[in-house]
Amino acid sequence: MILTLEEAVEILAQSEEQDNEAYFKSQTRRLYDIANVLKALGIIEKVKYVQPKLQKNQKEKKNAFKWIGSSGFNVTPASKPKAPKATSSKLTKEPIDTHTQ
């Protein structure tokens, strides 16, 4: 499935009955932020979507996103980091010098 962010915002706006330009732009920016994170995780990829021109000022090619899925994205429960064990060779009674030269 390929979906432009503008199409996604229109779907969201219909469900929330919003119809103003500021809301549309704000939601589009938020979806771009989310899309960038999902792209970095390898879950979606950015593609060029070619659409027929509907109006004079409308672009034919738009950025869109394609769902790749989570194959290859392994989620494992975070393991608790182990504290390093202190050894007698690392322990000294000398004061720690906090000033660097």
Structural domain including 43 reads 2-67
Q: Is residue 56 part of a domain?
A: yes
Q: Is residue 41 part of a domain?
A: yes
DSSP the chain: -EEEHHHHHHHHHHHHT---HHHHHHHHHHHHHHHHHHHHTTSEEEEEEE----STT--SEEEEEEE--STT----PPPPPPPPPP-TTT---SPP-----
Query: Which pLDDT tens digit goes with each residue over 5-52?
Result: 778 877 877 766 556 777 778 888 888 899 999 999 989 898 888 776
- Please tell me the total count of domains within the chain: 1
Q: Is residue 85 part of a domain?
A: no
Q: Is residue 77 part of a domain?
A: no
Task: Reply yes or no on whether the pLDDT at 88 is more than 60.
Answer: no
